[in-house]
Structure 1
Amino acid sequence: MPGIQNLLVATDFSERAQRAEKRAAMLCTGHKCNTAELMTVRESEQLEGLARLMNKSPEAAKTEVTDAVLRELQARTSELSNECGVKFTCTVRFGQPAIEISARSEEIFADLIVIGAHGGNFFTDIFLGNTADKLIRRCRRPLLVVRNEPASPYRNILVPVDFSDDSRQAAQLALQIEPQAEITFLHAYEVMFASKLSYAGVSQDAIDHYRIKTRQEALLTMNKFIDDLNAPRRRIMRDVVLGHPSAIVRDHAEKMQTDLIVIGKHGRSRIEELIVGSVTRDTIHWTKCDIMVVPPLAA
């Protein structure tokens, strides 16, 4: 996978969005990015109402709004460029945020989209309802959702894996995002049919042996998964835990004070954009740290 060189940062000028801007600047500094872009989206319905209030044509209102928003964007990009030494460009779009952000990321071949969680104004529900699901399903580029105020580069990264190609894609990006960070690869497994075995009269010793064997197989698979990544020398932890994946990921992140979770999207459907796996969806909604969602390579 190529390095992170081209970032797209979406903003609504809220305090939460400023956190995303700061994190993007940190990443630009660490990765010596070639380009970065700060964009914002104004909803078309709001523009139509504003045109009526201003007693102007929609085209004239759009021009006036664009000029005003561009001035604010340019002030932000000037600060960011001074902070990280990378020149930020500006883009204003009109339409639905999820659609416009996704489309722009494709136009500029963004290596990463950075966005704040729970923004204000028209982004208020972007990660609180259907807009969130649409954005995450639609995006075919890695998406970093910044929840917390950036104080330093990421130091503790958690990567839930199920050993699929999607997990491998997420793991490779996690290894790149902060080369100095400690990375924990976590696999949550469940013992198939364990509860039914006891009802079928299988002894507890046999069931325990089955659990031990399942864990050993998972550990071997985890070791091969990490070896196949050909990761450079760094601090890598690995953990295999019995339990439901969503709960295990949430509990582990809280216990280890994880500051970033990198997880695969597990997209499969071509009919309804891309389906987000249940573990990924639960992680997005319930974890308190920043989270990066990585789409399938085929997307």
Structure 2
Amino acid sequence: MTRPAKPTVSVHTMPLRSVLCATDLSDGAVVVLGRAAQLAHEHQAELHAVHVVGGTSMDALRQWLGAASTAELALLGQAQGELQRAMALAVSDRKVRVHAIVLAGSVADQVIAAAHRVDAELLVVGARPSTNPLRRVALGSTADRLLRRGHRPVLVARGVAQKWPTGESGERVLVAVDFSAWSAASLAWARTVAPHAHIVLHHAWSVPFEEKLRFAGVERATVHSYENTAYAHALSRLHALASAHGLGPNAWTPSLVRGDATLTTAQAALDADCHLIVVGKHGLHATQDLLLGSVTRYVLGESDLDVLVVPTEASPASTPLPRSPDTPHGLAG
């Protein structure tokens, strides 16, 4: 059987040069390190694996024995050996330049400082499965702090064994867009991390003030006309966004779902058979830097897929966010 020709994907984003993976060396650490190693291999980037020995126990040890004591140095040496063994398993036969770094102190502070020193463009952290049925994924305090305080994209990798596809084996990436500045940054980074993946642009649309219109007695035919207009407008803007980022017709698929993006994004990724979800750190109505948007929080808590969280200032491209030339009055996003 003749296999169909592989679609040509126009790639115009920069490659990754430096990836930093923060690990606590717990169960699943090798899997998360493996995900970081795969990215570093695909981009021919340097991989910096960082483990921080910190917390209240280290603080107490330093109070008793002082900094750089024999006991502290022994702990750091042991951690260095464990990290190097984990990295050897994670890298396997991949050609990756690896730097194993063990530090002491506040975990989030040390990871952020290390990322700055090595000029890491991407952070990779793990997420542990949760036994709480109301929140299936527990990120942990370190991942939470990095997501809130960091100004670099963070890939939250699920610490479960799986084979991550590459561009040659059909990788699919869902990018959640709301046509804010975060949408352009998210799409640019999706194409940087997975330059040959098929992109699914997902947008949850609605009719402005729909319930109020019905309550006010507006005729059903009129409301239906507004629905058609809102859908067409959203589809037009998705096409404009894809075009602005150089995505050809075979390189992406629109995903338009009526409803709340908070509730539809994770399911849309499953329905589209995606392997990665890319979301902005904030949404359209961001208020302050310390908060994650509601969509981002929900996707991180509910999806079993890897999630790439992108702050808008981390965009690798300066492509402006397009506006549809036929924007209906009162329906702008």
- Give the TM-score normalised by the residue count of structure 2: 0.79
State the distance in 2 between where 1:138 and 1:99 align. 9
Change (3 A) 1:137 1:241: same
| Closer, same or farther: CA 145–159 of 1 in aligned 2, 3 Å | same
- 8 Å Cα contact 1:80-1:88 kept in structure 2: no
Q: Which moved more, 1:210-219 or 1:174-183?
A: 174-183
Q: Counterpart in 1 of 2:38?
A: 26
Q: For residues 248 and 112 of structure 2, what CA distance do their matches in structure 1 show? A: 32
**C-alpha distance 275-56 of structure 1, shift in aligned 2 (>3 A):** closer
Mark the runs of 5 or more structure 1 residues left unpaired by the alignment.
121-125
Structure 1 CA distance, aligned partners of 2:148 and 2:29?
Answer: 21
CA RMSD of aligned residues (A): 2.7
Whether the aligned pair in 2 keeps the contact of 1:263 and 1:292 (CA below 8 Å) is yes
Structure 2 CA distance for partners of 1:269 and 1:66, relative to 1, 3 Å: farther
Please state how far the C-alpha of 1:62 moved relative to its aligned partner. 2.0
**Would the alpha carbon gap of residues 94 and 268 (structure 1) be closer, same or farther in structure 2, given more than 3 Å must change?**
farther
Instruction: String of CA shifts for 1:79-108, please: whole Å, max 9, x gaps.
Output: 445532112112122223222222221221
Does the 8 Å contact 2:49/2:98 carry over to 1? Answer: yes
1:293 aligned partner, one-letter code: V
Q: Is contact 1:48-1:58 (8 Å) kept?
A: no
2:277 matched to which residue of 1? 261
Q: Is the 8 A contact 1:16 1:119 kept in 2?
A: no
Counterpart CA distance in 1 for 2:182 and 2:40 is 25
The answer to whether residue 241 in structure 2 is matched with residue 231 in structure 1 is no
- Normalised by the length of structure 1, the TM-score is 0.87
1:15 aligns with 2:15: no
Match of 1:142 in 2: 153
Instruction: Write the letter of the residue equivalent to 1:139.
Output: G
Matched letter for residue 50 of structure 2: M
Q: Aligned partners of 1:87 and 1:93: how far apart in 2?
A: 20
Distance, in Å, in 2 between the alignment partners of 1:18 and 1:81 is 9
Alignment-derived partner of residue 226 in structure 2:
210
CA distance, structure 2, for counterparts of residue 46 and residue 194 of structure 1: 56
Distance in structure 2 (CA, Å) of the matches to 1:23 and 1:118: 15
Residue in structure 2 matched with residue 4 of structure 1 by the alignment? 16
Counterpart position of 1:105: 115
Q: Which residue of 1 aligns with 2:126?
A: 116
- Per-residue CA deviation, residues 94-123 of structure 1 (Å, 9 max, x unaligned), is 223222222221221111111111289xxx
Q: Contact (CA 8 Å) 2:180, 2:284: kept in 1 or not? A: no
The structure with the greater share of residues assigned to helix is 1
Within-5 A mapping of 1:1-299:
1-33=13-45, 35-50=46-61, 56-60=65-69, 61-118=71-128, 127-128=138-139, 131-147=142-158, 148-153=160-165, 155-231=171-247, 235-266=251-282, 273-297=289-313
Change (3 A) 1:211 1:267: closer
C-alpha deviation, 1:250, in angstroms: 1.9
Q: What percent of counterpart residues are identical?
A: 29
Aligned mates of 1:269, 1:196 — CA distance in 2: 21
Q: Which stretches in structure 2 are left out of the alignment for 5+ residues?
A: 1-12, 131-136, 316-333
> What is the one-letter code of the residue matched to 1:138?
R
3-state DSSP of counterpart to 2:93 = helix
Deviations 1:146-180 (A, max 9, x none): 11424132512111111222111110111222233
Q: Tell me the secondary structure at the aligned position of residue 96 of structure 2.
A: coil
How far apart in 2 are the matches of 1:244 and 1:100? 37
Deviation at 1:49, TM superposition (A): 4.1
Q: Number of aligned residue pairs: give it.
A: 291
- Residues 82, 130 of structure 1: alpha-carbon distance in 2 compared, 3 angstrom cutoff: closer
Query: Is this contact kept in 2: 1:16–1:117, CA < 8 A?
Result: no
* Aligned residue type for 1:183: I
